[in-house]
Structure 1
Amino acid sequence: MGSTSAFSVSRRNTVDFREKIICRPATPLLRRCLNPIKYSSATHSPSIILSPLSPRFLPPSRLSSRPPSPVSSKQRSGRELFCLHLFQRRRKKGIMARQQLEVLNALDVAKTQLYHFTAIIIAGMGFFTDAYDLFCISLVTKLLGRIYYRVDGSPTPGTLPPNVSAAVNGVAFCGTLSGQLFFGWLGDKMGRKKVYGMTLMIMVICSLASGLSFGHTSKSVMATLCFFRFWLGFGIGGDYPLSATIMSEYANKKTRGAFIAAVFAMQGFGILTGGIVTLIVSSAFKNHFKAPPYSADHIGSTVPEADFVWRIILMFGAIPAAVTYYWRMKMPETARYTALVAKNAKQAAQDMTRVLQVEIQEEQEKVERITLKESNQFGLFSKEFVHRHGLHLLGTTTTWFLLDIAFYSQNLFQKDIFSAIGWIPKAATMNALEEVFKISRAQTLIALCGTVPGYWFTVALIDIIGRFTIQMMGFFFMMVFMLGLAIPYHHWTTPGNHIGFVVMYGLTFFFANFGPNSTTFIVPAEIFPARLRSTCHGISAAAGKAGAIVGSFGFLYAAQNKDKTKTDRGYPPGIGVRNSLFVLAACNLLGLVFTLLVPESKGKSLEEMSGENEEEEMQENAGGRTVPV
């Protein structure tokens, strides 16, 4: 057995190990399962031990020479199935490795290097701008009410009517939902890079236009503002599927989750920056243009120059978007889109040779062989997609929808918390600029303590404990803390107990961000085929934004006091904050259940998750990947 010829055996007088051997529950069993043994049909003694999936040979001396122990047919059948399962898993990995394009494999195994961090910054700055633009409007709505809806003789400053407030705050969400669907689809048709530039230009133009909203009456100013905010949201919507898809297709499989999470974590810095910019602008105007509180002078408490404050804050969002545009246009198209969708292996190899600084071979024939398979050509509305990815898409859409209901509704409790702990005094005791300053200070502290840390816990741990675990844990603890707020709600609202309420509220935010708020963004970019990846992420994100609309505005009405005399001005009675918290806890419970439909993608290549490189017989069971373990 020492020479190479001793390891050769005639193909016609051998039979596969799986058809002859009876497995035994010992270490040699696993060794035999993973290394198919070929027996001579003449002697039935091991003359060769070959693994078609490994370059190594295993000496026969390492196998047990004992005869098989007597087992029942039922035991034998179970063990043979187990052996076959292990063999198929090993064979599948081998086939995937052989079929993987060199350029894609180079991306999967690349060490973390400068281009990864460059991609994070370029994609992340878009998300930074998104968060700034979406959240800064809530900092200036009180100011808009004082400027444009002042009522002479009223003991309280002017506020936006409920319908106007809902429009100003919510129209960007409607635009975002539309943009996620449209640009998600367009990103799969035209390419990630081309569409990426379009979304950024829309954001720059509409950020500037929002600050330049004009009109002769209050209604005309608000109508103009809403128009430009809708199109701003439309551009922001495109950034969701494109940023996630580009980062997932650039990243290596070992740290892909952390890279996508880092892009999403820039949202926290965007929220934080929105608060800081508002603090700086309002402080500068407040110190330069002195004004009495509203209770002392109804008209003089809002200086004419206050109209510039909200405009400057909204227009500032154009700066990071404009700075990022040049670098986005310098990025090459992702290799996965170029090779698997555009079917241009040469261009993909050239782009990644330049990015990775290694020589990569173009494999046009292999690209055509992979992309021309019938199983790699099904569309979004096909039976094959429903069979393979229908449950996955249901899982990503429902979890994101339920998460955003709970996440965005948490803003309803901020005014009660801020007032209770003295961060925001009664409006009549402040002038307009002072109110903006104190609202932004409170929002900045919340972002600094509860929002930003959760994102970066996800970045640090997602590739260690996995997406599934983090999402389940996040939904569970959000449910626990919301029940902890709801059940003893009257205790928390009693003077002296507000600190506990603030801590529970902050922990709910923390586990949203160190939980489903991050993972629902990451997973849809990993589990769908390249030709449908951006579209499916856009659908999932749009479902989430629908949840945000329900959470922000549906619960704004639902959380109103049952007593009509205690509701906010202009709102009908609702079910109250306590009952709203119970409903939100139920949403988190449902989110936890639907997470079971979402597969775990930690440490796997995108092609392994989507099944794009599999042989036909292995694609038959692709729909069974729903189980996340």
Structure 2
Amino acid sequence: MARNELGVLNALDAAKTQWYHFTAIVIAGMGFFTDAYDLFSISLLTKLLGRIYYSVEGHPKPGTLPPGVAAGVTATAFVGTLAGQLFFGWLGDKLGRKKVYGMTLMLMVICSIASGLSFGKSAAGVMTTLCFFRFWLGFGIGGDYPLSATIMSEYANKKTRGAFIAAVFAMQGFGILTGGIIALIISAWFDHSYKTPPYSVAGKASTAPEADYIWRIILMFGAVPALLTYYWRMKMPETARYTALVARNAKQAASDMSKVLQVEIEAEEERVDKIGIAPSNSFGLFSKEFARRHGLQLLGTSVCWFLLDIAYYSNNLFQKDIFSAIGWIPKAETMNAIHEVYRVARSQTIIALCGTIPGYWFTVAFIDRLGRFTIQLMGFFFMTVFMFALAIPYNHWLSNNAGFLIMYSLTFFFANFGPNATTFVVPAEIFPARLRSTCHGISAASGKLGAIVGALGFLYAAQNKDPKKTDIGYPPGIGVRNSLFLLASINCVGIFFTFLVPESKGKSLEELTGEIEEGDDNDMQHASSTQTVPV
């Protein structure tokens, strides 16, 4: 097989780390910053929404969202994300990465603002409007997954490609952290009652008019980073790999990358005509040839992401419930609604600082040394270990909040220094350029299906099956302990499916996919040997 026939691909693979790599990380990464902020900020606000709109007499559990409403508020963004990952992933391969990239960002900006302006004459009306806008917010967020990953993989050199893609995804940690910080600032600003007596959940003081501003401001703030990034995202050129291998315009690819790399690259238009178009290398997604070459790989990336997100999103979205169960967050009736937001946000911020963010950046530091396979296997293993360590002596942790917090933080650390990062990186590397965005979108959508299962499953598990028993600890239902056992088992299954995913460390994208293998190898190699790419 002749490899790296095109000088522009050679240039990208061999390029030294330079300024354009870092700008691409920031531009693509700010999309993920916004994604995480928008998806996870709702977990800070569900308690507040319950106390604002459902603190009425006659309600089964005054001050809490009904299960169906809680499911809708939490899951609609995930359903939208899943749909967006599939649609924009496919569109990114059909129209090009750049043409679609701006659409997703503007959709996120508009729907972030619209979510904060949700309206209605009743509680049901407000929640319905909020769910509608969060679906379309998720739809825009979904497009960012395959496009950002694919763009970064196609821009990067092969030596540090994993670190660059992981760095884009690591911006998710800063989005989660910023969501907590913004909620802390806004709630502290409005909360003027720290030293006042406790309020009943259904009491008017617990749902002061200012409380309605808080959730709206927090949700609308998600538009700010996306809006700031839009101009720079539109300035990025189309990736050379798409332009050369899919659009088949070597002249434009060479021109774009010459400006980016600041070197002269020969267009080689005649060489493009010889590669990537023979029957054995032009198979479709639903062909037998794709199934033979990449079927098990797609199964591995999809199932691993599905299993990971069941555990990861269950943990992230319901931190507040777990902290309530161990007594780290006081009972709702002991504080007003605004201060409750402050306490929930403080807990999430601490977890983000202690476990989430360090895990992401450990992956960035080590992914091109240890490899994707090792980090993913290690992450699933230690997530299993620490969740079992929390579940088995669960009663011990009820009286040892500091110990629980450390162990719980470690599950996030090894999720992010593990499969939460690698499941994002690998699908952007191992599939052909003409199907790369689509296959990443399918893998990511499988993950969001897992997030939906995790979110709704945990919500169901938290429901009290016997309404007469209200003092059996929170959450009742199957309880936190059994939930942790279940999540640990899911992580254990992830270990086995990791063996379907190939190692992509240190190889060019074309080596991994076998795309460039057609034409007269002797002619190609001779032409390649006569060309100098000054990188």
Give the TM-score range, shorter chain. over 0.9
- Whether 2:109 is the aligned partner of 1:204: answer yes
Partner of 2:371: 466
Mapped partners of 1:342, 1:283: distance in 2 = 53
1:414 aligns with 2:414: no
Distance 1:357 1:574, change over 3 A: same
Alignment match, 1:575:
478
1:270-419 superposed matches below 5 A: 270-287=175-192, 293-295=198-200, 298-411=203-316, 414-415=319-320, 417-419=322-324
Please say if 1:551 is aligned against 2:458.
no
What's the TM-score, normalizing by structure 2? 0.93
Paired residue type of 2:240: A
Letter of the aligned partner of 1:591 in structure 2?
G
Secondary structure of 1:532's aligned partner = helix
Tell me what 1:118 maps to.
23
Q: CA deviation at 1:375?
A: 2.0
C-alpha deviation, 1:449, in angstroms? 0.6
Structure 1 pair 531–155 and aligned structure 2 pair: CA distance change class (3 A) = closer
2:221 alignment partner AA = F
Partner of 2:122: 217
Distance 1:155 1:400 in 2: 37
1:560 positional shift: 5.0
Q: Is the 8 A contact 1:157 1:298 kept in 2?
A: no
> In structure 2, how many angstroms separate the alpha carbons of the residues matched to 1:617 and 1:542?
39
The aligned counterpart of 1:96 is: 3
1:258 equivalent among 142, 153, 163: 163
What is aligned with 1:456?
361
What is the rounded CA distance, in whole Å, between the counterparts of 1:482 and 1:410 in structure 2?
A: 11
User: How far apart, in 2, do the equivalents of 1:601 and 1:488 lie?
Assistant: 39
Please identify, of 176-185 and 144-153, the stretch whose mean Cα deviation from structure 2 is larger: 144-153
Deviation at 1:453, TM superposition (A): 0.5
Residues 1:127 and 2:26 aligned together: no
Larger gyration radius, structure 1 or structure 2? 1
Is the contact made by 1:489 and 1:578 (CA closer than 8 Å) also made in structure 2?
Answer: yes
C-alpha distance in structure 2 between counterparts of 1:374 and 1:568, whole Å: 67
Distance 1:416 1:242, change over 3 A: closer
Distance 1:362 1:288 in 2: 68
**Shift in alpha-carbon separation, 1:383–1:350, aligned structure 2, 3 A:** same
Give me the whole-angstrom Cα distance separating, in 1, the residues matched to 2:270 and 2:351.
55
Q: Distance in 2 between matches of 1:483 and 1:572?
A: 18
What is the Cα deviation at residue 300 of structure 1? 2.2
- Deviation of the 1:587 alpha carbon: 1.2
Aligned to 2:388, which of 483, 489, 496? 483
Separation (CA, whole Å) in 2 of partners of 1:548 and 1:430: 31
Q: CA offset at residue 289 of structure 1?
A: 11
User: Given residue 172 of structure 1, which amino acid in structure 2 is its aligned partner?
Assistant: A
Secondary structure of 2:408's partner? helix
Task: Give the 3 Å change call, closer, same or farther, for CA 582–420 of structure 1 in structure 2.
Answer: closer
Q: Which runs of 5+ in 2 are unaligned?
A: 522-535
Aligned residue number for residue 609 of structure 1: 512
State the match for 1:434 in structure 2: 339
Equivalent residue pairs, number: 520
**Which residue of the other structure, out of 508, 512, 516, is the alignment partner of 2:415?**
512
Matched with 2:174 is 269
Give 2:323's aligned amino acid.
Answer: F
> What TM-score comes out, normalization by structure 1 length?
0.79
1:130/1:267 contact within 8 Å kept: yes
For 1:168, the aligned partner's letter is V
Specify which of 135, 152, 156 is matched with residue 230 of structure 1.
135
Aligned-partner residue type, residue 424 of structure 2: F
Residue identity in the other structure for 1:175: G
C-alpha distance after superposition, 1:268-306 (max 9, x if no partner): 000000011111111111139997642398112321122
1:584-608 deviation per Cα after TM superposition (whole angstroms, max 9, x unaligned): 2221121110110100000000000
Distance 1:483 1:211 in 2: 39
Q: Which residue of 1 aligns with 2:497?
A: 594
Distance 2:244 2:299 in 1: 28
Cα distance in 1, alignment partners of residues 49 and 318 from structure 2: 21
1:502 to 405, 408, 414: 405
SS of equivalent to 2:164: helix
Letter in 2 for 1:231: W
Other-structure match for 1:534: 437
Question: Identity over the aligned pairs, expressed in percent?
Answer: 76
SS of the aligned residue for 1:600 comes to coil
CA apart distance, 1:500: 2.3
Aligned-partner Cα distance in 1 for 2:333–2:353: 28
2:63 corresponds, among 139, 158, 164, to 158
Q: Name the CA distance, whole Å, in 2 between partners of 1:272 and 1:351.
A: 36
The letter for the 1-side match of 2:515 is E
1:120-143 deviation per Cα after TM superposition (whole angstroms, max 9, x unaligned): 000000000000000111111111
Aligned partner of 1:525 among 428, 442, 448: 428
Q: Is the 8 A contact 1:291 1:300 kept in 2?
A: no
Cα distance between partner residues in 2 of 1:112 and 1:537: 25
- In structure 2, what is the Cα distance between the partners aligned to 1:258 and 1:572? 39
1:152 Cα shift?
3.4
Residue identity opposite 2:510 in structure 1: E
Contact 1:477 1:508 (8 Å CA) reproduced: yes
1:159 is aligned with what amino acid? T
Q: Counterparts of 1:300 and 1:586 in 2: how far apart (Å)?
A: 44
Letter in 2 for 1:302: T
User: Partners of 2:290 and 2:313 in 1: how far apart?
Assistant: 32
The answer (yes or no) to whether the contact 1:417–1:498 under 8 Å persists in 2 is no
Task: Give 1:564 deviation, angstroms.
Answer: 5.9
Q: Could you tell me how far apart the structure 1 residues matched to 2:306 and 2:484 are?
A: 17
Which whole-Å CA distance do the structure 2 matches of 1:299 and 1:582 have between them? 40
Post-superposition Cα deviations, 1:159-208, rounded to whole Å, max 9, x if no partner, equal: 11010011011100000000000000000000000100000010010001
Q: Which residue of 1 aligns with 2:531?
A: none
Alignment map for 1:69-80 (pairs within 5 Å): none
Gaps of 5+ in 1: 1-91, 619-629
- Residue aligning to 1:20: none
Q: Give secondary structure in 1 for the equivalent of 2:354.
A: helix
- Counterpart in 2 of 1:65? none
Q: Do residues 141 (structure 1) and 31 (structure 2) align?
A: no
Q: Are residues 424 and 487 of structure 1, via their aligned partners in 2, closer, same or farther at CA, if it must alter by over 3 Å?
A: closer
Say which SS state the counterpart of residue 96 (structure 1) adopts.
coil
Corresponding letter in the other structure for 2:49: L
